């Protein structure tokens, strides 16, 4: 995952460093020329009165960035100061490539704006390369964008009165049911019991699908006949959990779109009847912009608490993972990374940023 985005960020780092180095060399040459010119004219009596003004204009900062002499002096000591002019072209290219990598437009702009704010006027020390300065700015910008709303998922479950009720939403075919099975296994590994509830009472074969997972994992499944009331199914699962000292209820729901009023009404009824502790949105990482748009729509229709992205192992771009938290204000909590029940990875912004910026060994 993120190979495409990683390549784009790597090119941006190289472009900025190249622009900064070219700017330093030009500044040094121009400053040297100015110094030579000043030495020659200082020997001519009729221009002595202008020497101070020329010196001031050489050293003063203008509106476009640091003064010529200041840049030349920094370059001579192995330091670099980055100007907005040097960043303009690399940032425009980065924003375009982020959009091509399925990053949502407002998120791409936010990332490049944050990078610009951190880099303009930044001076690197002799012990740092320009690439290190740029990498730090990228890391900070990405962390702020994709880390929105992050919370300690395991800690929240531990602190919530049992049973903890988690409801899963999203369109059909994105892996909600499999994600429920994976999360049940994730909980089991941490000493937490769970019961599954099939609130997807509309889709033919839904009971069979989730029952197969429940049998494979030796979990209790609560299900009603096809066409039953989803809220009643999940309510029964809560009662079962209370009676049998089960820690977590994992409730599936019918795949729905925000335009499907009857299904959205069912989701609202589940909220009223069951009052879940968390509602998690599930979609495919490979869906890119579509996943981002659906996350926004689901959150607007019935507030979600976080998202799970499936098929993350097949997503080379990572645009949805970069975008969803920012556009919804709700965190990505897990990534599905394979077909096995153990292939569920906690989403950690620090780990993701490290993957994006780390050089391959």
- CATH code where residue 105 lies: 1.20.120.140
- 290 Cβ neighbours under 8 A, 6+ residues apart: 283
Cα-based distances in Å from 192 to 92, 158, 218, 238 = 48, 9, 14, 15
Per-residue pLDDT at 29 exceeds 70: no
Closest to 182 measured CA to CA, from 307, 306, 339:
339
- Average pLDDT rounded to a whole number, residues 26-42: 51
Tell me, yes or no, whether 142 and 101 share the same domain. Answer: yes
Q: Please tell me the distance from the alpha carbon of residue 110 to that of residue 117, in angstroms, as a whole number.
A: 11
Tell me, yes or no, whether 109 and 172 share the same domain. Answer: no
Per-residue pLDDT at 337 exceeds 50: yes
Tell me, yes or no, whether 200 and 278 share the same domain. Answer: yes
**Residue finishing a domain among 146, 167, 185:** 146
Examine residue 359 and state whether it is found in any structural domain, yes or no: no
Examine residue 358 and state whether it is found in any structural domain, yes or no: no
Tell me, yes or no, whether 334 and 189 share the same domain. Answer: yes
Examine residue 340 and state whether it is found in any structural domain, yes or no: yes
Closest to 82 measured CA to CA, from 102, 64, 107:
64
Question: What pLDDT band is residue 77 in, cutting at 50, 70 and 90?
Answer: very low
Domain count, the chain: 2
Do 79 and 124 contact (CB within 8 A), yes or no? Answer: yes
Examine residue 74 and state whether it is found in any structural domain, yes or no: yes
Residue 40 confidence (pLDDT): 52
Examine residue 192 and state whether it is found in any structural domain, yes or no: yes
Tell me, yes or no, whether 190 and 99 share the same domain. Answer: no
Examine residue 353 and state whether it is found in any structural domain, yes or no: no
Per-residue pLDDT at 234 exceeds 50: yes
Tell me, yes or no, whether 120 and 180 share the same domain. Answer: no
Tell me, yes or no, whether 339 and 204 share the same domain. Answer: yes
**Residue finishing a domain among 98, 116, 146:** 146
Tell me, yes or no, whether 344 and 299 share the same domain. Answer: yes
Tell me, yes or no, whether 110 and 188 share the same domain. Answer: no
Residue-number span of the structural domain to which 228 is assigned: 153-348
- What are all long-range contacts of 110-118, with beta carbons under 8 Å and residues at least 24 apart? 110/141, 110/145, 110/326, 111/141, 111/142, 111/145, 111/322, 114/140, 114/141, 114/144, 114/145, 115/87, 115/91, 115/141, 116/84, 116/87, 116/91
Examine residue 182 and state whether it is found in any structural domain, yes or no: yes
Q: Please tell me the distance from the alpha carbon of residue 55 to that of residue 38, in angstroms, as a whole number.
A: 8
Question: What pLDDT band is residue 232 in, cutting at 50, 70 and 90?
Answer: very high
Do 23 and 98 contact (CB within 8 A), yes or no? Answer: no
Q: What sign does the CA torsion over 203, 204, 207, 208 have?
A: negative
Across 14-18, 116-120, 321-325, least confident range: 14-18
Tell me, yes or no, whether 110 and 213 share the same domain. Answer: no
Tell me, yes or no, whether 218 and 315 share the same domain. Answer: yes
pTM exceeds 0.85, yes or no: no
CATH code for the domain in which residue 289 is found: 3.40.50.300
Question: What pLDDT band is residue 127 in, cutting at 50, 70 and 90?
Answer: very low
Q: Please tell me the distance from the alpha carbon of residue 357 to that of residue 135, in angstroms, as a whole number.
A: 7
Q: Residue 218: exposed, middle, or buried by beta-carbon count in 10 A (0-12, 13-18, 19+)? A: exposed
Examine residue 73 and state whether it is found in any structural domain, yes or no: yes
Question: What pLDDT band is residue 361 in, cutting at 50, 70 and 90?
Answer: very low
**Residue finishing a domain among 120, 146, 172:** 146
Tell me, yes or no, whether 122 and 243 share the same domain. Answer: no
- Average pLDDT rounded to a whole number, residues 172-198: 95
Place of tokens 């998690």: 280
């Amino acid at each position: 995952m993120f190979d495409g985005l990683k390549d784009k960020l790597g090119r941006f780092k190289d472009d900025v460093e190249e622009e900064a180095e070219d700017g330093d060399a030009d500044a040094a040459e121009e400053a040297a020329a100015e110094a030579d010119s000043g030495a020659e004219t200082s020997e001519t009596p009729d221009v002595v009165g202008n020497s101070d003004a020329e010196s001031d204009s050489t050293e003063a900062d203008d509106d476009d960035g640091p003064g010529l002499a200041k840049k030349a002096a920094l370059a001579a000591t192995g330091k670099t100061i980055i100007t907005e002019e040097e960043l303009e072209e690399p940032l425009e290219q980065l924003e375009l490539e982020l959009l091509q990598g399925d990053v949502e437009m407002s998120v791409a702009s936010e990332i490049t704006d944050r990078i610009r704010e951190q880099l303009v006027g930044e001076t690197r020390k002799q012990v740092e390369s320009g690439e290190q300065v740029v990498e730090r700015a990228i890391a900070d910008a990405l962390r702020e964008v994709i880390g929105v709303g992050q919370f300690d998922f395991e800690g929240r479950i531990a602190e919530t009165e049992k049973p903890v009720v988690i409801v899963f939403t999203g369109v059909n075919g994105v892996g909600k049911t499999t994600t429920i099975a994976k999360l049940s296994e994730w909980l089991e590994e941490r000493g937490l019991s769970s019961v599954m509830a099939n609130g997807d009472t509309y889709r033919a074969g839904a009971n069979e699908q989730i029952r197969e997972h429940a049998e494979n994992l030796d979990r209790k499944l609560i299900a009603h006949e096809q066409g039953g009331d989803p809220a009643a199914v999940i309510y029964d699962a809560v009662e079962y959990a209370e009676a049998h000292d089960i820690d977590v209820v994992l409730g599936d729901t019918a795949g729905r779109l925000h335009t499907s009023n009857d299904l959205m009404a069912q989701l609202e009824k589940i909220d009223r009847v069951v009052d879940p502790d968390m509602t998690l949105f599930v979609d495919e990482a490979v869906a890119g912009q579509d996943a981002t748009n659906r996350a926004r729509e689901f959150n607007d229709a019935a507030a979600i608490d976080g998202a799970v992205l499936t098929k993350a192992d097949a997503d080379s771009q990572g645009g949805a993972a970069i975008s969803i938290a920012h556009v919804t204000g709700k965190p990505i909590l897990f990534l599905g990374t394979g077909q096995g029940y153990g292939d569920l990875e906690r989403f950690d912004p620090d780990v993701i940023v490290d993957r994006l910026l780390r050089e391959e060994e």
